[in-house]
Amino acid sequence: MAKSFEFLFDYGSPFSYLANIQTPRFAKRAGAAVIYRPILLGAVLKATGNSSPMTVPAKARYMADDLRRWASRYGVEFRINPFPFLRNTLNLMRAAVAAQKLGVFAAYHEAIFPAIWADGLDLGDPSVLGMVLRRAGVDAQALLAAAETPEVKDELRRNTEYAVSRGVFGAPSFLVGDELFWGNDRFDFIAEALGRIA
C-alpha cells in the first residue's frame, strides 16, 4: 500500500504557509504522497469552540515573533498581511477545491500562499487576485466561475466537516491514518507515523 498523509490547510493561516513550504520536500524524503485538503478554518474554529490566537493580545504578539523566527529558519520571505479578506477566506478556499477539480491545483496553490504571506497582497481585491492567477497561468474567469458551483461549495463543506470529525481544531493539521498532528513543526512525528505504515 502506498504511503500518504493528508494536509489540511486554510490560506488565511500563516503557519499553514510555513508548513506548506516544507511539505513537498518532506513528502519526497518520506516516499509518501500528499493529499491536499482545503478546509474553512473559521468554521473549524467555530465548531470546536476554538478561537484565533489574534484574539488574545499577548498570544498575537508572541505569534508574530514566532512566525518571523520560523520564516528565518526556513529561509523564506514572510510579512503579516494587513488586509481584511483574511477574516474570511471562503472564496479562496472554494477556488482551491475548484482548482483541484479543474486540474490546476498545483499552479493555484503555489501562487496563493506566497501572494498572501510573502508579498502581502490583498487577494480580496478581484483585480489583484486575477493578476496573481494570470501570472500563475491559471484561467481566473474559469476558476472563479467553477468556485461558485454547488458541487464545489458542497465539497469544501464536506472537507471542513470531515476535519472536525477527525479531531482537527486548527491549521495546519496533518492526518496519517488515525493520527492527527497540528502545527508546522510536526514533521518528525509525521515521519514516525508514516514509518508505522506497513
Q: What is the pTM of this model?
A: 0.94
52 assigned to active site: no
Is the C-alpha dihedral spanning 21, 6, 94, 138 positive or negative? positive
State how many domains the chain has. 1
Distance from C-alpha of 127 to C-alpha of 21, rounded to nearest angstrom:
26
What's 131's domain CATH number?
A: 3.40.30.10
pLDDT confidence of residue 184: 95
| Chain segment 20-73, per-residue pLDDT in tens | 999 999 999 999 999 999 999 999 999 999 888 777 789 889 989 999 999 999
Task: Report whether 90 contacts 40 (CB < 8 A).
Answer: yes
Predicted confidence (pLDDT) per residue in 122-147, tens digit: 999 999 999 999 999 999 999 999 99
Q: Residue 18 belongs to what domain range?
A: 4-195
* Catalytic pick among 4, 13, 51, 165: 13
Q: Residues 123, 127, 24, 146: what is their CA dihedral angle, to the nearest 10 degrees? A: 100
For residue range 83-99, list pLDDT tens digits in order: 998 889 999 999 999 99
